[in-house]
């Protein structure tokens, strides 16, 4: 087995804000043309070479398990299940994924699966994983139309000073870099990441996996890997999903010209 950082894909969420679209399928299996959102991520991830891959299931877990069995039988993908997904934001799913790894000491990259990424993102991620830093993937800048998880950093100074979750617009955070939904934990930070997450889990599962990273900045140094120059689109509601898929298809139609 490779000593590359493992990949942990979070597929447990219910996607309730997607309405009728996620009644029978989890958000990760929503269609993107003839494939699914999950396929767009796994296909590129598998091109990056051998590594441990864990999918953490929850909502509609049997559907995800069947999809993996039917389409990725030879990919050696491990499944872990979060029985308490209904009461978890995503911090418990991350803990389930890390606990399922054979070699967490190699580090791991946590990937949320409600995002469509430009294929050119993956070589950039691989290069960043080869370094000794933990990092958050960022795209765009906090503003009234782009809120949520953010980091105080810049392209010129990518070391992250502060991390925040600000879902309701606050102009004080204008210009902070917007998280995409991917954290890569370096081997050097594995011990602290696991210890602090377990401490936070004793308090509640109703929190994001970024919570320890918000509070314990000195124990968990990290930097931003910015992909604002490339396509990346996350979605939580039907209208955002449909627009993201349309834009993603447009990207692929012009992909050769963009290389």
Q: What is the pLDDT of residue 1?
A: 54
Cα 237 to Cα 227: distance, rounded to the nearest angstrom:
23
Give the residue from 242, 182, 236, 171 showing the smallest Cα distance to 209. 182
Mean pLDDT by 10 residues, the chain (259 residues): 89 88 89 96 96 97 97 97 97 99 98 97 97 98 96 97 98 97 98 98 98 98 98 94 96 77
Counting beta carbons within 10 angstroms of the beta carbon of residue 148, is it exposed (0 to 12), middle (13 to 18) or buried (19 or more)?
middle
Q: pTM for the whole thing?
A: 0.96
User: Candidates 3.90.550.10, 3.40.605.10, 2.40.50.140, 3.40.50.1820; correct CATH number of 6-139+179-258?
Assistant: 3.90.550.10
């Amino acid at each position: 087995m490779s000593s590359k950082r493992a990949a942990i894909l979070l597929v447990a969420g219910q996607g309730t804000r997607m309405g009728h679209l996620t009644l029978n399928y989890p958000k990760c299996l929503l269609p993107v043309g003839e494939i699914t959102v999950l396929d767009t991520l796994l296909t590129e991830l598998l091109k990056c070479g051998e590594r441990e891959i864990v999918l953490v299931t929850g909502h509609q877990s049997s559907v995800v398990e069947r999809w993996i069995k039917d389409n990725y039988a030879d990919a050696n993908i491990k499944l872990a299940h979060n029985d308490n997904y209904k009461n978890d934001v995503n911090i418990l799913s991350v803990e389930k994924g890390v606990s399922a790894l054979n070699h967490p000491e190699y580090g791991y990259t946590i990937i949320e699966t409600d995002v469509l990424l430009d294929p050119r993102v993956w070589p950039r991620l691989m290069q960043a994983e080869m370094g000794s830093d933990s990092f958050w993937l960022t795209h765009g800048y906090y503003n009234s139309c782009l809120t949520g998880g953010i980091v105080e950093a810049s392209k010129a100074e990518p070391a992250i000073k502060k991390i925040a979750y600000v879902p309701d617009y606050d102009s004080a955070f204008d210009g902070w870099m917007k998280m995409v939904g991917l954290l890569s934990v370096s081997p050097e930070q594995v011990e602290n990441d696991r210890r602090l997450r377990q401490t936070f889990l004793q308090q509640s599962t109703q929190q994001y996996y970024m919570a320890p990273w918000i509070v314990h900045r000195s124990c968990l140094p990290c930097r931003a890997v910015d992909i604002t120059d490339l396509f990346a689109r996350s979605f939580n509601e039907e209208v955002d999903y449909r627009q993201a898929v349309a834009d993603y298809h447009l990207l692929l139609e012009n992909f050769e010209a963009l290389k």
